[in-house]
């Protein structure tokens, strides 16, 4: 690990000024960044510690019935907030299916959004990786790539985004509040992350110094609470990133799907919103046939990036199962979160 300057600003304005310097990084829990630094994958000249900034660690119910989640809220605290979990059960389910309890107790909402890919070639400083070193090539293209992207990839990069949390957020049209050198702005979470194209080194649309201060879920997302699930398939039951995952949410009235939300994880360099599939579902009766049609539409543009054609079929199956579970109704156990932050949400891991 190279030497670096450590800065602890007292205000958001001071943080932005400090982080706008060349090769500076924000530091919160550091659950991803410190691993990258120890492996010489990330080599910042300055770390800007934002953990002491005031007002970024709150979960706020806003007057319009939306919820605002500060960027420094811990993943475990958000998942175990009873009111939040009752309103957004699939988001709590996604949070509790990610990482270990110890990491969830440390990791922050803002850091979760901006975590880097877990591609083994990105983590190996000796491998060619356009995301880590632009123009060097992509060793994953001809290497071990069974875990890589099937949607939105390019010849320059086939990595996937690792977040569970982001998948239902994208499905529910979450907004990200950002403060930077030019003031405050909002970015749709669906637009926050970039597809690789020819510039995979740019993970997000953020500019130097930009600081995520909060995530906001709109009020209408509450309307899916009765039929909302997050389902994740991984190679081992705990502490593994998704091979594929799906967030499915339905609003069912008098036996008909009035609205539908569907997003996928583990399939692209960003959480993937399946809008064509949603359109197919709206106005239909919940049924296996309708769900299969939606799954096929969601993966219509998928193509293998290597030895991973199986992920296309797997993703369709996980969509089908997630929609079936959502249609059956959110289990009553989901709002009743366990008292201990070290206990997984009952039923989450059994579907992994």
State whether residue 185 is helix, strand or coil: strand
The first and second tokens of residue 266, run together, are 């583990």
Helices (H), 108-147: 109-113, 120-123
Please give the Cα distance from 107 to 199 (Å, whole number): 28
| Per-position b or e across 315-350, b if 16+ CB within 10 A of its CB | bbebbbbbbbbbbeebeeebbebeeeeeebbeebee
Residue 42 · residue 122 · CB < 8 Å: no
Compute the Cα dihedral for 318, 251, 110, 182 and give only its sign: positive
Rounded to whole angstroms, the Cα distance separating 337 from 340 reads 9
279-310 burial, b if ≥16 CB within 10 A, otherwise e? ebbeeeebeeebbeebbebbbeebebbbebee
**CA dist., res. 295 & res. 158, Å (int):** 22
Tell me what pLDDT residue 53 has.
97
pLDDT tens across 313-336, in order? 999 999 999 999 999 999 875 544
3-state secondary structure of 228: strand
The pLDDT, as a whole number, for residue 349 is: 32
pLDDT on residue 350? 34
The pair of three-digit structure tokens given for residue 343, joined into one six-digit string: 């206990």
- Which pLDDT belongs to residue 317? 97
Query: CB of 171 within 8 A of CB of 249?
Result: yes
- Residue 67's DSSP bridge partners are 61, 217
pLDDT at 334: 54
Looking at residue 240, what is its pLDDT? 86
Q: What is the pLDDT of residue 331?
A: 86
Mean pLDDT by 10-residue block, N- to C-terminus, for the chain (352 residues)?
Answer: 94 98 97 95 97 97 96 97 95 93 95 97 97 97 97 98 98 98 97 96 97 97 97 86 97 98 98 98 98 98 98 98 96 50 35 34
**What span, in angstroms and rounded, lies between the C-alpha atoms of 59 and 76?**
12
96-124 confidence digits (pLDDT tens): 999 888 999 999 999 999 999 999 999 99
Q: How far apart are CA 125 and CA 301, in angstroms?
A: 32
d(CA 204, CA 53) in angstroms, rounded, equals: 23
Q: In 3D, which of 267, 295, 268 has the Cα closest to residue 281? A: 295
């Amino acid at each position: 690990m190279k030497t670096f300057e450590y800065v602890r600003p007292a205000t958001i304005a001071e943080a932005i000024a400090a982080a706008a310097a060349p090769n500076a990084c924000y530091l919160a829990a550091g659950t991803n960044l410190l691993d990258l630094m120890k492996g010489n994958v990330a080599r910042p000249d300055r770390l800007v510690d934002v953990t002491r900034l005031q007002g970024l660690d709150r979960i706020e119910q806003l007057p319009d019935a939306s919820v605002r989640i500060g960027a420094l809220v811990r993943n475990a605290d958000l998942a175990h907030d009873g009111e939040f979990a009752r309103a957004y059960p699939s988001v709590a389910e996604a949070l509790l299916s990610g990482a270990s309890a110890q990491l969830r107790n440390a990791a922050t909402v803002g850091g979760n959004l901006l975590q880097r890919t877990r591609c083994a070639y990105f983590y190996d400083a000796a491998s060619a990786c356009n995301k880590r070193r632009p123009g060097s090539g992509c060793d994953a293209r001809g290497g071990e790539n069974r875990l890589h992207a099937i949607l939105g990839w390019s010849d320059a990069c086939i990595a996937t985004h690792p977040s569970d949390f982001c998948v239902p957020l994208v499905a529910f049209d979450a907004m990200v509040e950002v403060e930077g050198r030019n003031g405050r702005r909002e970015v749709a979470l669906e637009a926050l992350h970039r597809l690789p194209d020819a510039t995979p080194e740019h993970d997000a649309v953020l500019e130097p110094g930009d600081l995520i201060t909060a995530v906001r879920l709109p009020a209408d997302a509450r309307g899916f609470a009765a039929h909302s699930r997050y389902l994740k398939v991984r190679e081992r039951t705990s502490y593994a990133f998704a091979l594929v995952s799906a967030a499915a949410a339905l609003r069912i009235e008098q036996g008909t799907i009035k609205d539908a939300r569907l997003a996928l994880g583990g399939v692209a360099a960003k959480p993937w919103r399946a809008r064509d599939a949603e359109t197919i579902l709206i106005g239909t009766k919940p049924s296996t046939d309708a769900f299969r049609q939606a799954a096929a539409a969601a993966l219509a543009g998928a193509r293998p990036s290597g030895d991973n054609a199986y992920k296309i079929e797997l993703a369709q199956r996980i969509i089908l199962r997630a929609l079936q579970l959502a249609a059956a109704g959110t289990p009553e156990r989901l709002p009743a979160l366990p008292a201990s932050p070290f206990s997984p949400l009952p039923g989450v891991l059994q579907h992994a």
